[in-house]
């Protein structure tokens, strides 16, 4: 049975760096809101394991695969008119550009940008973006805990560059209402109190930029 909550935004995107807990939160929100989910199909990218083993060699095909995949997903949803129903996603198309800026060299990035500009016009603006933040050491611990083989070589320096890029992106972001969550202490998947507090925030934001920094639960 889905949780009983106030009327949520129609199209919610949960974003943040690798390991911050996007997909787990999306799945629970979708249950609460009786919503569709739009999830990154990371396992479908045939270049991803090569990228984690040798980022420089496989970065460009990895990035292009994700760009085309995400563009197809969003275009397909628009054509099916699903955006009239509740939808919760664990990515926004703009994230692809963010990763490209970190992973590609100058010539690759120039070519990527030309492709991106042709595709990104199909992406609709979310009704709410939930941006999850956490320190690099927290991200590394969560990545290790979930134990995905392709992520076993993830380095703190890479996560730091990624986290900094996210911070800069959302500092300037103004296309949708934005809720910024300190996800270092909150555990909305395993702690019901945390989830209900977060749910209240999500259902109350309708415009502007907001911050949610819940106090740790004292035992």
Domains within the chain, CATH numbers bracketed: 11-212 (3.40.50.300)
d(CA 68, CA 169): 21
Burial class (CB in 10 A: 0-12, 13-18, 19+), 36: middle
Both tokens assigned to 7: 């009327």
Contact between residue 47 and residue 125 where contact means Cβ atoms under 8 Å apart: no
Tokens 């992973």 sit on residue: 103
d(CA 119, CA 23): 24
d(CA 71, CA 86): 20
Both tokens assigned to 171: 């500092």
Helical spans, DSSP H, in 120-209:
136-146, 156-172, 192-204
The closest of 161, 159, 211, 213 to 183, measured between CA atoms, is: 213
**Strand extents, DSSP E, the chain:** 11-15, 36-38, 87-89, 128-133, 178-182, 209-212
Question: Residue 2 has what pLDDT?
Answer: 46
Burial class (CB in 10 A: 0-12, 13-18, 19+), 213: exposed
**Phi, psi at residue 87, to the nearest 5°?**
-145, 135
Give catalytic residue positions. 90
d(CA 155, CA 129): 27
Question: Residue 79 has what pLDDT?
Answer: 60
List average pLDDT for each run of 10 residues in the chain, which is 219 residues long.
60 94 94 91 89 84 93 74 75 92 96 88 83 94 82 86 96 94 88 92 92 68
Question: Residue 201 has what pLDDT?
Answer: 92
Question: Residue 1 has what pLDDT?
Answer: 40
Question: Residue 81 has what pLDDT?
Answer: 57
Question: Residue 120 has what pLDDT?
Answer: 65
Tokens 């300037």 sit on residue: 172
> Given 3-state DSSP classes, what are the helix, strand and coil percentages for the chain, each rounded to the nearest 5?
55, 10, 35
Question: Residue 213 has what pLDDT?
Answer: 85
d(CA 216, CA 213): 9
């Amino acid at each position: 049975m889905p949780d009983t909550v106030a009327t949520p935004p129609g199209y919610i995107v949960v974003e943040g760096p690798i390991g911050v807990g996007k997909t787990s939160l999306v799945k629970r929100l979708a249950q609460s809101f009786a919503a569709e989910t739009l999830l990154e199909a990371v396992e479908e990218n045939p270049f991803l394991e090569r990228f984690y083993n040798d980022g420089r060699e496989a970065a460009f095909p990895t990035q292009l695969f994700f760009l085309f995949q995400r563009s197809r997903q969003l275009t397909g949803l628009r054509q099916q008119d699903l955006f009239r129903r509740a939808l919760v996603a664990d990515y926004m198309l703009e994230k692809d550009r963010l990763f490209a800026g970190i992973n590609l060299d100058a010539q690759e990035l120039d070519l990527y940008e030309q492709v991106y500009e042709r595709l990104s016009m199909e992406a609709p603006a979310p009704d709410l973006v939930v941006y999850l933040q956490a320190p690099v050491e927290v991200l590394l611990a969560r990545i290790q805990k979930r134990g995905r083989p392709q992520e076993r070589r993830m380095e703190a320096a890479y996560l730091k560059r990624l986290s900094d890029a996210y911070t800069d992106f959302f500092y300037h972001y103004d296309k949708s209402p934005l809720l910024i969550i300190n996800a270092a202490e909150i555990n909305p998947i395993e702690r019901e109190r945390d989830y209900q507090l977060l749910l209240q925030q999500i259902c109350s934001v309708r415009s502007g930029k907001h911050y949610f920094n819940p106090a740790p639960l004292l035992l």
